[in-house]
Every structure is written in C-alpha cells, then in structure tokens.
Amino acid sequence: MEGLPWETLLNWTKYLFSSEPDGYKALQEKQAYIESEEAKLNKIIEEVSAEEAKYHTTVDKKQLLNHIIVTNIAADAGEEELQCVFSYYQFHGITILKKKHPQNGTRAAYIDFYDRMSAWNASRVIDSIFGLKLRVRLAVDVDIPEKNMLLLHAASQEKKRKEAASGVDRADRDGGWF
C-alpha cells in the first residue's frame, strides 16, 4: 500500500505543528490581526464618512443662504441679460435651467452670491428681460439681522415722511418739548 510521498507529509507536519512564520498558528495569528485591523479601518471609514456627510450638509445649507431663484425668464434670455440685471451685486455664478415652463415657455435660474446680504438685496430687484417681469426670491428665506435693521430704517423713514406730509410736528406728537 502506497501512501503519500515523504516530502508532502513533512511539509504538512511543518505547516500544522511548527511555530515558524509560515506555520499554521502563525498564519492564524496573522489572519486574526488582519481582520481586527480591517475592522478598525472600517470603523474609521464609517466615522469619516458620517463626518463628511455632516460637513457637506452644513456647507450646502450655508451656501443655499447665498442663492436666489429667478423665474419668469424669457426663453431667449441668456446669462448676459441676467448679468446686466444683477451686475450691481457681487455674484459668482449663474445657472440657467434648461427645462422650460410647460405653459408659458419661460425658464428659471439660480444665482450664487458671495454673501447673504448681497443675495438678500438682489432678491428685492424689480426688473424685466424682454418685457417679462422677473420673479426673484431667496432660495432660503432666513432672518438676517441686517435685513431687520434695513426694514426698521425703512419703516422709520416712511413714518417720518408721513408725519412731514400730514404736518404733524414732533412736539405735538410727543405732547410737548420736555
């Protein structure tokens, strides 16, 4: 009865029972170490991915504050016409959407500004392109402290104009000059 060749048995014996670097126990230890390090790496990758997603969400929200949406743009209008309308404000990008309104054929655009105040000021523009009145609004309507100050200032100016037009004197309104 013939068995396995002697060299094969010797190699299997060395592999199974040896403490050499190529032995079975050493390979098992290497495999366990690789698996534990791979698990640590996967955990780090998951944490970094979650942190990156959180960062991008925050950045997107901040950038969205600096956008306006312009609608009712004439179909033939291009970037040049929008640049003329918003040239007073500091913007860094115009994206005109290709899809047209199904009923009237007008288009829409996003305009990116460097800061919220420029976007807010630009959202108050009343203008037209090729006879169509533009509809302009902030992409995200937020409460801006500067906006509140401007509104209060405008309201106080309007109140002063009305008082001046009606002839009401400050002394009369306040009940005297005390």
Q: Is 24 helix (H, G, I), strand (E, B) or coil?
A: helix
At 119, list the tokens.
């976007």
Q: What's residue 141's pLDDT?
A: 62
Distance CA 109, CA 68 (A): 8
Distance CA 149, CA 76 (A): 38
Q: Are residues 53 and 76 in the same domain?
A: no
Where the chain has pLDDT below 70, the residues are 1-2, 9, 15-19, 21-24, 58-64, 141-160, 162-164, 166-178
Q: What's residue 67's pLDDT?
A: 85
| CATH code: domain of residue 125 | 3.30.70.330
Instruction: Specify if 153 maps to a domain.
Output: no
Beta bridge partners of 70: 109, 136
Instruction: Specify if 87 maps to a domain.
Output: yes
Instruction: Specify if 21 maps to a domain.
Output: yes
Give me the domain span that covers residue 73: 67-138
Q: Is 71 helix (H, G, I), strand (E, B) or coil?
A: strand
Q: What's residue 37's pLDDT?
A: 93
Q: Are residues 79 and 53 in the same domain?
A: no
Number of domains in the chain: 2
Instruction: Specify if 130 maps to a domain.
Output: yes
Give, in order, the Cα–Cα distances in Å from 158 to each of 15, 66, 153, 164.
94, 29, 9, 10
Q: What's residue 138's pLDDT?
A: 87
